[in-house]
Chain A
């Protein structure tokens, strides 16, 4: 029976894009946006958009990528994870280790090049270690930096570290059937523990100093930031596009049907013969890996990563973005993440002029969080479908 089923012809296999016109729209808009930013950039175009802004836009694309991952795990599968920024941060640390090590190594080799006796590998390694770790009072290379000079190794870590952490954590949590708010608290605790751990100086990741100078790309140290920023912008846009396609595929077919069913009534799904824990673990781990990749693209644009980035509040913001943008639809998550994070950097970065009302001066830096909180409450109460829900009205009108 199994054989005959395999040979049975699929029924008019419709293309993913046919069933999801929003994917096509999204790809088109992302392509246009990328082209537009490139043409207006300093590195490749007429220079209307500053290098700094290109970096902010590229970072925003990375935030959109982790937001769609969050939407899949929460909006589609019903797991309110308050820990996905930990995976994002781990991805950033993994690539940051290579960036910092390789660049420091190049600098050291250049400075030692003039010496009469060529330096041994050991001397170079020791010099790199004391350069990187003197800030935490050490001059030894921690064990976890053993392969930091290898780009392929650290790239593998970008995927493996968040993936394995999610796999182990998820296996323990889902197997014990921890659900709902208890699971959220557990993920939050994981994030907090990781963040506090990284704050310590002896963890080998430079404590609260974090990793810095990540905008300098080894092998391209002579390339101006105006060009590098556009490279990373492209990479971020590509990653977002690929991630969007991947998740659209994951949530569109029968798999999407099953995870939405798990969200709505997981006990019933069990009685249909589906191993609910396996599905949750799959979704949790897949989204954690994508979050790690998003982080690995984000931090070279940010230039610095420190444990504060992993603080629990970041993961809560992530949930707020997705809620405001609209859960259960990928473009909703993108809208929420882009809108809120750009507004945030505009209002708190001094971009928005403060308003003097005479009797009171509105300072946006102070009021932004209040506005965000209020917006979250209003959306939750009155627009449970979020901003993305507006598209339903547009489609229905046609």
Chain B
């Protein structure tokens, strides 16, 4: 396992509020990692920084063996380099079909002219079918994405993430609003994806994280409070104080 993403000494302040405070965190490839923390711990801001949505005041974000400085890249370039993101609230393109949503996410050239000339190849079509089967939406391909249930939208978004074929998946609360059966399915999907890539999952739900059986990073007030196995961090007195003490 080699280090894929290395965030070091990152801080960001919004209107005097320090959302991220000298945060350092790294993830290898392949690896499955869960990030937990109370509300306002900076979990989503952390993802915003890695994906280029928010620029930190200080610190470094380094990517891959070539040590690319992610802070110099735009959101779309970061996505192209191999970082995919699933948002907390499922954001799929509701007016378009499930197939079109997946086709847009497929790893292909992204420039306006190549997209204009694009025609689905057999490989693309097969990949879409494969993804649809994986996320349980095979019979929904022609449906409007807006007509899907909440859980199905979550899956479609995970499917779009997989279609991008990223090296790092940042997944924000994938199980929110899912039934227990859907949660189990989602856990399997993420574990399978993490065999070949880095997957970072933000979750609140301890049960869900337990099933991921992975290393856990606890964030608190914008920096890392504890890191290790779930059992290890839940025995940590500071973590207990943060989660239960208030």
Contacts and interface: CB of A to CB of B under 8 A. Distances in A.
Given A250-B116, A275-B111, A257 B123 contact: no
B156 to A, nearest CB: 12
Contacts of A250: 116
B121 A258 contact: no
Q: How many of chain A's residues touch chain B, expressed as a range?
A: 20 to 34
Contacts of B125: 11
Interface centre among A254, A257, A267, A272, by most chain B C-beta atoms within 10 angstroms, is: A272
A258 B104 contact: yes
A5 interface: yes
Contacts of B139: none
A23 to B, nearest CB: 17
A317 interface: no
A275 B119 CA distance: 20
Contact of A257 (B74, B85, B104): B104
Contacts of B104: 254, 257-258, 261, 272, 274
B121 A257 contact: no
Interface centre among B76, B80, B96, by most chain A C-beta atoms within 10 angstroms, is: B76
Contact of B93 (A255, A260, A273): A260
A13 B119 contact: yes
Contact of A255 (B115, B123, B124): B115
A282 B116 CA distance: 11
A278 B84 CA distance: 20
Contacts of B94: 264
A273 B94 CA distance: 19
A79 B125 CA distance: 31
B100 interface: yes
Contact of A11 (B74, B105, B115, B121): B121
A9 B121 contact: yes
Interface string B71-97: 000111101100011010001011110
A276 B53 CA distance: 14
Contacts of A10: 119-122
A260 B122 contact: no
Contacts of A382: none
A271 interface: yes
B122 A8 contact: yes
Q: How many of chain B's residues touch chain A, expressed as a range?
A: 35 or more
B118 A270 contact: no
A268 B96 CA distance: 14
Contacts of B115: 253-255, 258, 274
Given A254-B115, A260-B93, A264-B94, A273 B110 contact: yes
A221 B125 CA distance: 58
A257 B103 contact: yes
Nearest to A8: B121
B164 interface: yes
A265 B93 contact: yes
A265 B146 CA distance: 14
Given A254-B115, A255-B115, A279-B112, A272 B164 contact: yes
A255 B111 CA distance: 10
B76 A276 contact: yes
Given A255-B115, A258-B115, A273 B121 contact: no
Interface string B143-169: 000000000000000001000100000
Given A11-B125, A261-B96, A264-B93, A255 B79 contact: no
B51 interface: yes
Contacts of A264: 93-95
Nearest to B121: A8
A260 B80 contact: no
Contacts of B103: 254, 257
A273 B119 contact: no
Nearest to B163: A272
Contacts of B121: 5, 8-11
Contacts of A270: 74-76, 79
Given A265-B93, A271-B85, A276-B76, A254 B164 contact: no
27 contacts: A4-B123, A5-B108, A5-B123, A8-B122, A9-B122, A10-B119, A11-B119, A11-B121, A11-B125, A13-B119, A250-B116, A253-B118, A254-B118, A257-B93, A257-B103, A261-B93, A264-B93, A264-B95, A265-B91, A270-B75, A272-B79, A273-B77, A273-B80, A273-B164, A274-B76, A274-B104, A276-B76
